[in-house]
Amino acid sequence: MHAGIDTDERPLLVIWELTQACDLACHHCRASARPQRHPDELSTAEAKALLDDIRAFGPGTLVVFSGGDPFKRDDVTELIAYGDALGLRMSLTPSGTRLVDREAVEELAAAGLANLAVSLDGPDPESHDAFREEPGSYDETIAIAEAAADHDVSLQINTTVCAETADALPGIRDRVTDLGAIRWSVFFLVPLGRGSVLDPVTPERAEAIWEWLAEVDETAPFALKTTEAPAYRRVRAQRGAGEGGSRPGVATLAGDGFVFVSHRGEIYPSGFLPQSAGSVRERDLATVYREHELFRSLRDRSQLTGKCGACGFREQCGGSRSRAHATTGDPLASDPLCPYVPAGYDGPIPGPAHVGD
């Protein structure tokens, strides 16, 4: 249960990868995107049928169009308008390229776009453009963010955390504030696609960053969330224990409050957990989410193994199922990024760890 929503019945958000095509070659890209579109992408008619299926989860479901770069398709605005007319909350994550200009953002706003998210992986052009391998990407990203503000579209900033970007987080935080974003989503690298050649932060560094993020969250003018780092919930709970602080809610995990549809219609618990549960071309999305054994197992935290299964914070945290799958092949194994060890646990530990209380 997440804030009154039964995630056995409906997800908090649906991510649809409109296309894997993108003009950037970012170091961390899960999709290993290429400039060309795939010939087997969902058609416009199939896309509208998918939005009809998503409506079965209930009005107000958040739908995020991702990629690749959604603007490599020419029907993005049409699909935003269609989803908005169905009562869905439509969001978009464009790449920082010349495909998106102020006019495009204005058209999206008129079509009913509620939220727009851009990625910022450095506080300045040099660092961001080097990570994105595209000169000018920083300036394009900032221009998109400023256009969103001008047209009353809520702005989210996404940032990838790995060894290459960790030192830049304070500077990026300042840019998030300057841009007037309502949310900063801090994504901790999962070794998938091109991201598999990057160095993740160590578990000890991750713990220090989560502590720092908790401090940022106490005073920041924006909301803060982590992606593929549910242990941040555990850190927040520990900071609040005995101090009158509120305990955080339950983390959203792959398959638990979250579902991903690929550019070809494959249904995954997450884009970072590419284990297919069928295709939207053949099966109803809501039925797969509610009934498929893979999704049901991911929502049953009693099935977690290793120290995640023994952890007293497993209901609040649950560990990154995507990282467990990427590193061990088992989505129910322990998250190797988390250094916390439950008291009394004497089983295998995936990587460096410290003993919990």
Burial class (CB in 10 A: 0-12, 13-18, 19+), 80: buried
The pLDDT, as a whole number, for residue 37 is 75
Helix (H) or strand (E) holding 154: strand 154-161
Specify the pLDDT at position 218: 93
Comparing 243 with 286, which gets the higher pLDDT? 286
pTM metric for this prediction: 0.90
Identify the pLDDT of residue 193: 61
Domain limits, the chain: 13-301
Per-residue pLDDT of 88-138, as tens digits, reads 999 999 886 777 888 999 999 999 999 999 999 999 999 999 888 888 889
User: What is the reported pLDDT for 198?
Assistant: 79
CA distance 234 to 116: 28
CATH architecture of 13-301: Alpha-Beta Barrel (3.20)
How many Å apart are CA 160 and CA 121, to the nearest integer?
6
CA distance 190 to 198: 9
State the SS3 of 254-297: CCECEEEECCCCEEECECCECCCCCECCCCCHHHHHHHCHHHHH
CA distance 102 to 124: 21
Judge whether 177 and 220 are in contact, CB under 8 Å.
yes
> What's the average model confidence in pLDDT over 142-158?
94
At residue 344, the pLDDT reads 82
Both tokens of residue 2? 């997440």
357 pLDDT band, cuts 50/70/90, is very low
Q: In which residue are the tokens 């649809």 written?
A: 16
* Closest to 224 in 3D by CA, of 353, 235, 97, 40: 235
Among residues of the chain, what percentage have pLDDT more than 70? 88
For residue 63, the SS3 value is strand
Percentage of the chain modeled with pLDDT above 90? 75
Q: Which residue has the higher pLDDT, 240 or 8?
A: 8
- Mean pLDDT across the chain: 89
What is the tens place of the pLDDT at every residue in 285-313?
Answer: 999 999 999 999 999 999 999 999 999 99
pLDDT digits (tens, 9 = 90+) for 19-56: 988 876 555 554 555 667 788 999 999 999 999 999 99
How confident is the model at residue 248, as a pLDDT?
54
Contact 10, 288 (CB under 8 A): no
pLDDT tens digits for range 174-230? 999 999 999 999 999 998 765 466 789 999 999 999 999 999 999 999 999 999 999
Residue linked to tokens 């727009």: 116
Task: Using DSSP, state whether 158 is helix, strand or coil.
Answer: strand
Are 237 and 248 in contact by the 8 Å Cβ rule? The answer is yes
